[in-house]
């Protein structure tokens, strides 16, 4: 099934390196990043899991739980975790789903048969605290993902969910943001009484309302 933005992330129960995970219960009131790996004991995946483990504190600050998936079993995952710690210098500090039946991978459309029949591609889903899919990305097996970009996306999603703003190209936390085009100047004056910098009537910048604050909701 193709998952689209705004869809409810499919629930599942599956074994992991931290015991059985009931996905919706596990997310609880947090946000989540759920991402797939083609196979255990592969080089790019090894570097990716190390990179995410190093960023775990940043995801924690933002109230985002991390969950990985590979179609190998828990025993392989545990052996691989030792390799990740030895080569990447960091412990695997989040659960990795063991999806041997590929049931979860199929529910999330993580297997793209024209790319590879049995392994997953590199999918990423950002899921919010209502269990809705807020972002999906698909990378090929040969290209490791940029996990700093996921932190940036989470900052944008949380900011734009709670304010009448959008974030421009290459925006990062603290940069100016754009007032939604749907807001008339009159409506904008109520929300942004300090005014804005208009480069065009539809391109109105205000300072990042979240600058200086980092809430985990
Ligand atoms: C890797 O993680 O290095 C990898 C996995 C599957 C195919 C190609 C590369």
> Which ligand 1 atom lies nearest to the CA of residue 119?
6
Cβ of 145 below 6 Å from ligand 1:
no
Two domains, one topology: 13-143 and 163-216: no
Residue with token string 């049931």: 103
Q: Give Cβ neighbours of residue 49 (< 8 Å, ≥ 6 apart).
A: 37, 68, 84, 88, 92, 96
Alpha-carbon torsion (194, 197, 202, 208), positive or negative = negative
Q: What is the pLDDT along the chain (217 residues), one digit of tens a residue?
A: 789 999 999 999 999 999 999 999 999 999 999 999 999 999 999 999 999 999 999 999 999 999 999 999 999 999 999 999 999 999 999 999 999 999 999 999 999 999 988 899 999 999 999 999 999 999 999 999 999 999 999 999 999 999 999 999 999 999 999 999 999 999 999 999 999 999 999 999 999 999 976 544 4
Active site residue 45: yes
| Radius of gyration, CA atoms only, the chain | 19
Give the three-state DSSP class for 173: coil
Which of these is catalytic: 45, 92, 110, 179? 45
Ligand 1, residues 35, 36, 37, 38: which to mutate, most atoms within 8 A of Cβ?
38
Partners of residue 67 on adjacent β-strands: 34
Would you call 20 exposed, middle or buried from its count of C-beta atoms within 10 A (0-12, 13-18, 19+)? exposed
Partners of residue 14 on adjacent β-strands: 21
**Where are the chain's structural domains?**
13-143, 163-216
Would you call 6 exposed, middle or buried from its count of C-beta atoms within 10 A (0-12, 13-18, 19+)? exposed
Cβ of 44 below 6 Å from ligand 1:
yes
Q: What is the pLDDT of residue 214?
A: 59
Q: What is the pLDDT of residue 43?
A: 97
Task: Give 193's DSSP letter.
Answer: T
What does the block give as tokens for 83? 């390799």
Determine phi and psi for 136, rounding to 5 degrees: -135, 145
Top-level class of domain 13-143: alpha beta
Q: How far is the CA of 44 from the centre of ligand 1 (A)?
A: 6
C-alpha 111/C-alpha 4 separation (Å) is 16
- Is pTM, for the whole model, over 0.85? yes
Burial of 37-75, coded b for 16+ CB within 10 Å and e otherwise, reads bbbbeeebbbebbbbbbebbeebeebbbbbbbbbbbebe
CATH of range 163-216; options 3.30.300.30, 3.30.950.10, 3.10.20.740, 3.30.1020.10: 3.30.1020.10
Cβ of 38 below 6 Å from ligand 1:
yes
């Amino acid at each position: 099934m193709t998952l689209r933005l705004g869809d409810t992330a499919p629930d599942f129960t599956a074994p992991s390196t931290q015991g059985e995970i009931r996905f919706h219960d596990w997310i609880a009131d947090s946000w989540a990043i759920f991402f797939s790996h083609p196979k255990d004991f592969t080089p790019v995946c090894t570097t990716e899991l190390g990179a995410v483990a190093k960023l775990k504190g940043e995801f924690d600050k933002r109230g985002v739980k991390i969950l990985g998936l590979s179609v190998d079993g828990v025993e392989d995952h545990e052996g691989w975790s030792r390799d990740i710690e030895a080569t990447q210098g960091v412990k695997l500090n989040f659960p990795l789903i063991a999806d041997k039946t590929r049931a979860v991978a199929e529910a999330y459309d993580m297997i793209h048969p024209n790319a590879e029949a049995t392994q997953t591609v590199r999918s990423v889903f950002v899921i919010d605290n209502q269990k809705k899919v807020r972002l999906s990305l698909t990378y090929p097996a040969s290209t490791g993902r940029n996990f700093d970009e996921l932190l940036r996306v989470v900052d944008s999603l949380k900011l734009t969910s709670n304010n009448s703003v959008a974030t421009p190209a290459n925006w990062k936390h603290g940069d100016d943001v754009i007032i939604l085009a749907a807001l008339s100047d009159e409506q904008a004056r109520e929300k942004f009484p300090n005014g804005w910098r208009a480069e065009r009537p539809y391109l109105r910048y205000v300072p990042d309302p979240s600058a200086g604050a980092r809430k985990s909701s």
